[in-house]
A and B are shown apart, each in its own frame.
Chain A
Amino acid sequence: MDKVMRMSSEKGEVIFTKSSCCLCYAVQILFRDLRVQPTIHEIDNDPDCREIEKALLRLGCSTAVPAVFVGGKLVGSTNEVMSLHLSGSLVPLIKPYQSILY
């Protein structure tokens, strides 16, 4: 879906979330702890919410939200993010976008 492709290829991290989703919130907290400021797209306020969900699932995301993209590429949902982080592979991925501050 064009809209999803456009939004996900924005620079840095992009996370598709829903305002009611607390796991999405947890993922955002994690990135904040890693000194990263992702672009958040809350899709439940978007009129195309259903289409976006379907597109995210088609792209290979295990659950539609949260959907994490880094540098335009799909990283995955909560499961994938957690696995990557514990294996030490998440930080190298986001390193270019980490804030030097604090």
Chain B
Amino acid sequence: MNTTSTHFVPQRRFEIYERLNQISMWEESFKNNGGMYTPGSVIIPANEKTNSLSEDTSHGAEGTPHKYDQEASTSRHPDKIQRRLAQNREAARKSRLRKKAYVQQLETSRLKLIHLEQELDRARQQGFYVGNGVESSALGFSDNMSSGIVAFEMEYGHWVEEQNRQICELRTVLHGQVSDIELRSLVENAMKHYFQLFRMKSTAAKIDVFYVMSGMWKTSAERFFLWIGGFRPSELLKVLLPHFDPLTDQQLLDVCNLRQSCQQAEDALSQGMEKLQHTLAESVAAGKLGEGSYIPQMTCAMERLEALVSFVNQADHLRHETLQQMHRILTTRQAARGLLALGEYFQRLRALSSSWAARQREPT
């Protein structure tokens, strides 16, 4: 029935490939004809006369097998060939499906990326809009921003808004006639508002003490005056003093004592910080330098850094106590004027930061 196998096999392979070609051509024509096309299957008329492969071989030897059309008979192929053809069809089908799925995944990821980039831009703009320290892209959303710090920044944004509102209210109220009782509640609220900030900072310091220490959430001009993660209490007193006139003799004495003890406490903490820097530098530099960046006293260095958190808390405690003492020494009206002056002072610093940033962006 067959000629020599060497002659036979290549022809058979050729035949199969040609058959596959035919099948895809049939698929195309079926597709174009609509409806009846199902992927991966080819409708071969059932009543086709099937030829033996040997007969095909002989045909193939004579001419091209492209004489097949839709009605063309399929040769009678052994089951093995049919099975292989079916497997090929199946494999082709699966490959097409995989490709489709992969392309869909790529599309989804692309959309997700665009969406994330938009969110990032929006968030940066929001930070700018609120007017806190998230001005440049270098700040704010660096790789190390944990969710706790992001939450703090948002909370601080709200804090500033509330602060501005309170300052506005104080200004309006002090220009008019206001009862001491009403003024007292405004003063209490303003004090509580500052204390709330210290609590927020304490939480943030536990998450990232360096973030709090460097005043990253503040505007640039505020950061210029930074002392252990916030304003200097002694500076605060200096700014407020002129606004308290007239002071009674007792008040004057108390304020002077407060200024002195505040300065002493500040100096003590500053020297403690210097010692901390010194001992940390020692830990980092311990062991031979020039032999690698491993810190031999890593545990010790880490312990030093832990101490930073207590220093930040102590500094805020000092600010807290300074405000508290001022509240005790002054009358309600004086305290209200003082809080207004303090609030406006920080507002001016923030405005200065914005102006400065705008100036830097202008072309020279």
Which residues of A come within 8 Å of B, CB atoms? 20-23, 25-27, 29-30, 33-34, 63, 78-79, 82-83, 85-88, 90-91
Q: A22 near B273 (CB under 8 angstroms)? A: yes
Q: A26 near B307 (CB under 8 angstroms)? A: no
Q: B276 near A22 (CB under 8 angstroms)? A: yes
Q: How far is the CB of B283 from chain A (nearest CB, A)?
A: 10
Q: A87 near B271 (CB under 8 angstroms)? A: no
Chain A neighbourhood of B328, CB < 8 A: 87
A91 to B314, CA, bound (A): 20
Identify which of B268, B271, B279, B318 contacts A20 (C-beta below 8 A): B279
Residue of B nearest to A26 (CB): B272
Q: A25 near B321 (CB under 8 angstroms)? A: no
Chain A neighbourhood of B262, CB < 8 A: 86
26 contacts between A and B (CB under 8 A): A20-B303, A20-B304, A21-B307, A22-B279, A23-B307, A23-B311, A23-B314, A25-B272, A26-B272, A26-B275, A29-B271, A30-B264, A30-B265, A30-B268, A33-B264, A33-B268, A63-B310, A78-B310, A79-B314, A82-B318, A85-B264, A86-B258, A86-B325, A87-B325, A87-B328, A90-B261
A29 to B263, CA, bound (A): 13
| Residue B322, interface by CB 8 Å | yes
Binary per-residue interface labels of chain B (266-281) against chain A in the complex, 1 for a CB within 8 Å, 0 otherwise: 0111011101100100
Q: How far is the CB of A1 from chain B (nearest CB, A)?
A: 25
| Residue B257, interface by CB 8 Å | yes
Q: A25 near B271 (CB under 8 angstroms)? A: yes
| Residue B254, interface by CB 8 Å | yes
| Residue B348, interface by CB 8 Å | no
Q: A78 near B307 (CB under 8 angstroms)? A: no
A86 with B307: in contact, given A29-B271, A78-B314 (CB under 8 Å)? no
Chain B neighbourhood of A87, CB < 8 A: 321, 325, 328
Chain A neighbourhood of B311, CB < 8 A: 22-23
A34 to B264, CA, bound (A): 9
Q: How far is the CB of B18 from chain A (nearest CB, A)?
A: 86
Q: B267 near A29 (CB under 8 angstroms)? A: yes
| Total inter-chain residue pairs, C-beta < 8 Å | 72
A61 to B322, CA, bound (A): 22
Q: B271 near A26 (CB under 8 angstroms)? A: yes
Chain A neighbourhood of B83, CB < 8 A: none
Among B223-268, those with CB < 8 Å from A are: 254, 257-258, 261-262, 264-265, 267-268
Residue of A nearest to B270 (CB): A26
Chain B neighbourhood of A88, CB < 8 A: 254, 257-258, 261
Q: How far is the CB of A56 from chain B (nearest CB, A)?
A: 16
A82 with B271: in contact, given A22-B311, A23-B310 (CB under 8 Å)? no
Of listed B268, B317, B322, B328, residue having the most chain A CB within 10 A: B268
Q: How far is the CB of B325 from chain A (nearest CB, A)?
A: 5
- Known A-B contacts: A20-B304, A26-B271. Give 7 more (CB < 8 A): A22-B273, A22-B307, A23-B311, A26-B268, A26-B275, A29-B268, A83-B321
Chain B neighbourhood of A34, CB < 8 A: 264
A94 to B307, CA, bound (A): 28
Q: How far is the CB of A85 from chain B (nearest CB, A)?
A: 5
Residue of B nearest to A87 (CB): B325
Identify which of A22, A63, A83, A85 contacts B272 (C-beta below 8 A): A22
Residue of A nearest to B258 (CB): A86
Chain A neighbourhood of B275, CB < 8 A: 22, 25-26
Chain B neighbourhood of A30, CB < 8 A: 264-265, 267-268
Chain B neighbourhood of A23, CB < 8 A: 272, 307, 310-311, 314
Chain A neighbourhood of B271, CB < 8 A: 25-26, 29
A20 to B280, CA, bound (A): 10
A85 to B267, CA, bound (A): 13
